[in-house]
């Protein structure tokens, strides 16, 4: 009995460590509304599996890009083994329904973690059993390497992250619409050395709507195409703050080189 109590204590400690894994980078839907997997059929919940799959814990979002491949943020997989991660596909609820798939291979961008910025915060991973495509499970189209979005262009981001800074997280998928903020504007917020050409910013400078922890690795889309990956930012939905995303067009060739997609 004592071993079981200690085990539960260790598990609780692990489950409480999400912020350390995500390095307090951006990732929760603030100021959004509920949506369904039918609207986001490429959406995945990337989960850490404990005790041989007895317990799972939502870690990040991810997107299906092929029958065996998905894309997320590198900070979501950093320090994790493939055997410790699963994804849930085809479900609005992050903990039930749809199908689960074991991650079998992780490839993080070699440029991630180089220098003082969160540049190249992208990873692709393979699953051991293929996704079965249906109305609820589909690959997303990735932005081409020559796509540039003008400031003010509206995008959408979805995820299972917290509803307010430090608040509770929903079991069901949420989404929010956000306008693109130019890199020039974003550099004025975070400093020119922090914002690179491989990043894309979006959000309301008036505050109130944003992505944050728990949404990290999830897709930012425009016109049905994934243009960004939730990466980092300041305080969620704060005045004068924009969320920072991986610019998919900038890493499109890297994805093809590593996955053939």
pLDDT in tens, 162-183: 665 566 677 899 999 999 999 9
Report the alpha-carbon distance of residue 17 to residue 98 in Å, rounded: 26
Average pLDDT in the chain: 86
Report the alpha-carbon distance of residue 240 to residue 228 in Å, rounded: 20
Full DSSP string of 164-189: STT----SB-EEEEEEEE-HHHHHHH
What pLDDT was estimated at residue 113? 86
Residue of 169, 216, 231, 249 marked active site: 216
What pLDDT was estimated at residue 236? 77
Structurally, the chain folds into a number of domains equal to 1
Report the alpha-carbon distance of residue 38 to residue 202 in Å, rounded: 24
Mean pLDDT of 187-203: 95
Residue 121 annotated in active site: yes
Residue of 58, 75, 101, 109 marked active site: 75
pLDDT in tens, 218-235: 999 999 999 999 999 887
Task: Specify the DSSP class assigned to residue 144.
Answer: P
Residue 154 included in any domain: yes
Domain that holds residue 176: 141-249
Residue 224 included in any domain: yes
Nearest to residue 134, comparing CAs of 72, 87, 64?
A: 64
Residue 210 annotated in active site: no
Residue 86 included in any domain: no
pLDDT in tens, 41-85: 999 999 999 877 778 999 999 999 999 999 999 999 999 999 999
Residue 109 annotated in active site: no
Full DSSP string of 15-78: HTTHHHHTTT-S---BS-EE--TTT-TTEEEEEEEEGGGTEEEEEEEEEE-SSSEEEE-HHHHT
pLDDT in tens, 84-104: 999 999 999 999 999 999 999
Residue 132 included in any domain: no
Report the first-to-last Cα separation within the chain, whole angstroms: 50
pLDDT in tens, 100-141: 999 999 999 999 988 778 999 999 999 999 999 999 999 999
Strand partners, 63: 43, 71
What pLDDT was estimated at residue 3? 26
What pLDDT was estimated at residue 168? 63
pLDDT in tens, 145-165: 999 999 999 999 999 986 655
Residue of 45, 101, 109, 121 marked active site: 121
pTM over 0.85: yes
Residue 238 included in any domain: yes
Residue 3 included in any domain: no
Where residue 198 sits, what CATH number does that domain have?
2.40.10.10
Report the alpha-carbon distance of residue 157 to residue 180 in Å, rounded: 12
In sequence order, which residues have a C-beta less than 8 Å from that of residue 1 and are 6 or more positions away? none
Residue 257 included in any domain: no
């Amino acid at each position: 009995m004592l071993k079981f109590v200690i085990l539960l204590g260790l598990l609780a400690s692990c489950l409480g460590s999400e912020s350390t894994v995500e390095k307090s980078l951006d990732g929760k839907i603030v100021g959004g509304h509920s949506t369904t997997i039918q609207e986001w059929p490429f959406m995945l919940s990337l989960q850490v599996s404990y005790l041989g799959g007895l317990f799972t814990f939502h870690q990040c979002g991810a997107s299906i890009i092929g029958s065996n491949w998905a894309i997320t943020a590198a900070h979501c997989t950093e320090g994790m083994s493939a055997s410790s991660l699963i994804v849930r596909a085809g479900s609005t609820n992050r903990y039930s329904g749809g199908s689960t798939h074991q991650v079998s291979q992780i490839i993080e961008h070699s440029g991630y973690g180089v220098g003082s910025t969160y540049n190249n915060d992208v990873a692709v991973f393979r699953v051991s059993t293929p996704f079965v495509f249906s109305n609820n499970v589909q690959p997303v189209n990735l932005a081409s390497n020559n796509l540039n979005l003008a400031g003010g262009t509206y995008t959408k981001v979805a995820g299972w992250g917290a509803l307010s800074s430090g608040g509770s997280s929903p079991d069901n998928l949420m989404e929010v619409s956000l306008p693109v903020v130019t890199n020039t504007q974003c550099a004025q917020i975070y400093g020119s050395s922090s914002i690179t050409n491989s990043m894309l910013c979006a959000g309301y400078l008036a505050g109130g709507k944003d992505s944050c922890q728990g949404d990290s690795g999830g897709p930012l889309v425009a016109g049905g195409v994934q243009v960004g990956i939730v990466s980092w930012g300041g305080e969620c939905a704060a005045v004068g703050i924009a969320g920072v995303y991986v610019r998919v067009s900038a890493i499109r060739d890297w994805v093809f080189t590593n996955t053939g997609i």
